[in-house]
Amino acid sequence: MTQTKIGIINVTGYAGVELARLLHKHPKVKLGSITGRSAAGQKLADVFPHLADIDMTITAELGEVDFAFSAMPHKASAEVILPLIKGGIRVVDISADFRLKDADKYPQWYDFAHPASELLQKAVYGLPEFHRTEIAKANLVANPGCYPTGALLALAPVVKENLIEPDIIIDSKSGVSGAGRTLSLSTHYTEAVDNVRAYSVHGHRHLPEIVQELEALNTRFVPSVTFLPHLVPTSRGILSSCYAKLKKSTLTEGKDKLLKIYTDYYKGEPFVRVVDKPPETKQAWGSNLCLVYPTVDVRSGRLIAISCLDNLVKGAAGQAIQNMNIMLGFPETAGLEALPVYP
> How far apart (Å, rounded) are the C-alpha atoms in residues 81 and 90?
9
In the 8-state DSSP scheme, what is residue 184?
-
pLDDT computed for residue 183 by the predictor: 80
pLDDT computed for residue 254 by the predictor: 74
Residues of the chain with pLDDT under 50: none
pLDDT tens digits, one per residue of 29-55: 999 999 998 899 999 999 999 999 999
Dihedral (Cα; 312, 31, 339, 266), 10-degree rounding: 70
**Domains of the chain with bracketed CATH:** 4-144+314-328 (3.40.50.720), 147-311 (3.30.360.10)
Cα–chain center distance at 88:
25
In the 8-state DSSP scheme, what is residue 149?
H
Of the listed 146, 242, 290, 308, which one is catalytic?
146
pTM surpassing 0.75? yes
pLDDT computed for residue 343 by the predictor: 85
Q: Decide if 146 is catalytic.
A: yes
pLDDT tens digits, one per residue of 200-244: 999 999 999 999 999 999 999 999 999 999 999 999 999 999 999
As a three-state string, the secondary structure of 68-110 is EEECCCCCHHHHHHHHHHHCCCEEEECCCCCCCCCCCHHHHHH
pLDDT computed for residue 248 by the predictor: 78
pLDDT computed for residue 1 by the predictor: 64
